[in-house]
Chains A and B, each alone.
Chain A
Amino acid sequence: MIALEILLATLPLVFLLSLLFEGIDRKVHARMQRRIGPPIIQPFYDFIKLLVKENIVPTTAARSIFNASPSLAAASSIVGAAIPLANLIARTGIIGDLILVMYLLTMSSIMIVVGGSSSGNPYGAVGFSRKIMMLIGYEIPLLISVVSISIKAGPSLIYYDIILAQIKSDKCLACAYISSATAALTFLLCISAAVGVVPFDIPEAKTEVIHGPLIEYSGPQLALLKLAKSSTIFSLSLLAFTLFFYFPTIYELSIVLGEIATLGACLLGSLMVMLLTVTLPRTVFARLKIGQAFKTYWFFPLPMAITSLMLSVLGW
């Protein structure tokens, strides 16, 4: 039960870290465009402002689903981020927690679009259909890459076992095997679609479908949806760093400097992953069309993920 207490303690930590990550992302994005950019604590201002704003529920909305889905989305993505973080702190795991995390992260993005489609706004429905298209595109390679790495590390579906395997083999998995390196690349490519940032923000395109699923949400509901999105970014970058690039030196830091140093190194690493997979593409590229995004994922990451799975079964 110690693990449960740590999990509860990490929930506020996830809240703070994910908003902080979003702030850093916005600042770096601004600096890349040669702007000054908003202060790093800007997401906190946005969150509090939205929390104390009026909440409007349109008369055309299916009221109960419309009201429930932002809380569900935020809860599932925060728990999805808290589980890996708590496991990193507690250094244990439960069987199948990797599946649970991936499920919760998908759940969060599905809840967002379900809420949007229940709003009665046609743009919400368009956003819903686009998001489902995107889900079919990125979810399969994402999951296959996780399966590939869990075969390599055991086989085990415990998140901390994969980290332990990297500590034992004295190499991060992405450097150790070809199959894991391919899986890592697939996972990194899928992050920007999974969180829906610019080259793949097709369901929430501001200038096309006016925020899609988010269009009718206001006030606290919108705050929860924004929180869901930023904690999904945090969770996926943490997962990407710890599953594939957990260098054993990070673990050795805890012997020299204490456990907080290991956690800090993991967070720093996931920040780098976020900057490379979320901030950089979102600055460099323009938005794709839905067909182009779908093709991108089925012609490049999907074959790569399948190759990586086959290689890991063959023992490469």
Chain B
Amino acid sequence: MWKIASRSRIKSPWIFHLNTGSCNGCDIEIVAALTPRYDAERLGCVLVGSPRHADVLILTGPLTSQMMPRVVRVYEQIPEPKAVVAVGSCAISGAPFLGSYSIEGPLDRIIPVDVYVAGCPPRPEAIIRGIVTAVKRKFG
């Protein structure tokens, strides 16, 4: 029974995407991962509009101080079990913005991150691989 549940969770990761102060580069690549060319839906990924429906939270950007309470709120709105994927160099380390007065990041100081996808921006294949790794590690 547990096996079926875990398999279903791996096979249907619904994604909620949140921009935490990114330059939009990573966001474009995330959208590209959902287009017919890369087709994340063949792995069951659907982009949902409400965090209540999501399983995987994809975060981009260095986490500005304005976005910090909102990121925490969205994270807590997602029902358990959930996985978090940090996409892009900014989300991983703060990249060029590290040390700025308006940056609270890197992301893993605020919420637990399961998978880091490096790149500026990362390629769509890398993002899809990140999602798959995250759900396998977290729900498997």
Contacts and interface: CB of A to CB of B under 8 A. Distances in A.
Contacts of B53: 211, 214, 217-218, 222
A219 B12 contact: no
Interface stretch (B34-42, B57-65, B109-117, B119-127): B34-42
Contacts of A215: 49-50, 52
- The 5 residue pairs across chains A and B that have the minimum distance between CB atoms: A54-B79, A210-B49, A48-B8, A218-B52, A45-B11
A215 B80 CA distance: 17
Nearest to A221: B52
A44 B36 CA distance: 23
Looking at chain A, what size class is its interface with the partner chain?
20 to 34
Contacts of B9: 49, 52
Interface residues of B, number: 23
B98 interface: no
Contacts of A55: 79
A286 interface: no
Contact of B42 (A38, A48, A222): A38
A206 interface: yes
B121 to A, nearest CB: 22
Interface stretch (A27-35, A86-94, A181-189): A27-35
A54 B4 contact: no
Contacts of A9: none
A48 B5 contact: yes
Contact of B79 (A42, A44, A56, A214): A56
7 contacts: A33-B36, A38-B44, A44-B8, A48-B5, A49-B9, A49-B55, A222-B53
A38 B39 CA distance: 9
Interface in A99-155: none
Contacts of A216: 50, 52
Contacts of A34: 36
B21 to A, nearest CB: 21
B81 interface: yes
A107 B45 CA distance: 31
Nearest to A206: B49
A211 B80 contact: no
B4, B5, B41, B53, most chain A CB atoms within 10 A? B53
Interface string B8-40: 110110000000000000000000000010010
A207 interface: yes
B11 A42 contact: yes
Given A46-B44, A214-B50, A37 B79 contact: no
A34, A55, A218, most chain B CB atoms within 10 A? A218
